[in-house]
Chain A
Amino acid sequence: EAGVAQSPRYKIIEKRQSVAFWCNPISGHATLYWYQQILGQGPKLLIQFQNNGVVDDSQLPKDRFSAERLKGVDSTLKIQPAKLEDSAVYLCASSLEWDSRSKNIQYFGAGTRLSVL
């Protein structure tokens, strides 16, 4: 079974430029998550999708970050314009379907490492 695919693996941009990340979840997984992991910290949720609908985007800096999952499968996360503090690893994760009774097992991609200069 293929895992969560993310691209690119690395990206270096200058501040105020735009950048986009792509994620393809495990086939059949209805729930998709984007996390930001700053060096020395644990991952922090940015946005959660259930199929093509947003479940939780309370921690997404909406003035510069946007995300979509139009067909309920793959997803893109965009930053425009980027700031120095956006340097981090952006992780995508997916799970079968969120259920309050389930153990909510999330499978993570390898991430995209973003450096903003």
Chain B
Amino acid sequence: TQLLEQSPQFLSIQEGENLTVYCNSSSVFSSLQWYRQEPGEGPVLLVTVVTGGEVKKLKRLTFQFGDARKDSSLHITAAQPGDTGLYLCARGSTLGRLYFGRGTQLTVWP
């Protein structure tokens, strides 16, 4: 059973477009992490959000944690081909392990 639902599963857009991907859960979690995984590489941490309603920006990427701490979104402005990759959300646990969603596979065409 997937504890984190990510949508959409696939997204294919042209360079310069904006996009939003979502991560939802029926459970409340204390923090959530977003990772990007490029082909042939391991996931790389982008951001950790902790507080309900929190918004964090990383250049053209904007991360938001829902007020109820059950959902999160990642918005990319003016996407570039270098943004291509698998975007994963993950939540932690009391033992330290991470639970990942299935991810959103983003392709940005030049």
Looking at the complex, which of B65-73, B76-84, B99-107 is the stretch in contact with chain A?
B99-107
When the two chains form the complex, which single residue of A4, A48, A91, A109 contacts B97, counting CB atoms closer than 8 Å? A48
Indicate whether A111 reaches chain B with its CB closer than 8 angstroms: yes
Q: How large is the interface on B (under 10, 10 to 19, 20 to 34, 35 or more residues)?
A: 20 to 34
CA distance A98 to B21 in the complex (A): 29
Judge whether B40 and A43 touch: CB under 8 Å: no
* Distance to closest chain B CB from A35 (angstroms): 8
Indicate whether B110 reaches chain A with its CB closer than 8 angstroms: no
* Distance to closest chain A CB from B10 (angstroms): 10
Known contacts A91-B42, A93-B42, A110-B41; is-contact A40 B95 (Cβ 8 Å): no
| Chain B residue, CB-CB nearest to A95 | B96
Which residues of chain A are within 8 angstroms of B41 by Cβ–Cβ distance? 110-111
Judge whether B48 and A103 touch: CB under 8 Å: yes
Known contacts A98-B95, A109-B42; is-contact A42 B31 (Cβ 8 Å): no
CA distance A93 to B41 in the complex (A): 12
Interface residues of A in 86-110 (CB under 8 A from B): 91, 93, 95, 98, 100, 103-110
Judge whether A110 and B40 touch: CB under 8 Å: yes
Which residues of chain B are within 8 angstroms of A44 by Cβ–Cβ distance? 100
Which residues of chain B are within 8 angstroms of A14 by Cβ–Cβ distance? none
Which residues of chain B are within 8 angstroms of A4 by Cβ–Cβ distance? 42
| Chain A residue, CB-CB nearest to B42 | A108
CA distance A110 to B50 in the complex (A): 27
Indicate whether B92 reaches chain A with its CB closer than 8 angstroms: yes
Interface, chain B (partner A; CB < 8 A): 4, 31, 33, 40-45, 48, 50, 88, 90, 92, 94-98, 100-103
Interface, chain A (partner B; CB < 8 A): 4, 31, 33, 40-45, 48, 55-56, 91, 93, 95, 98, 100, 103-111
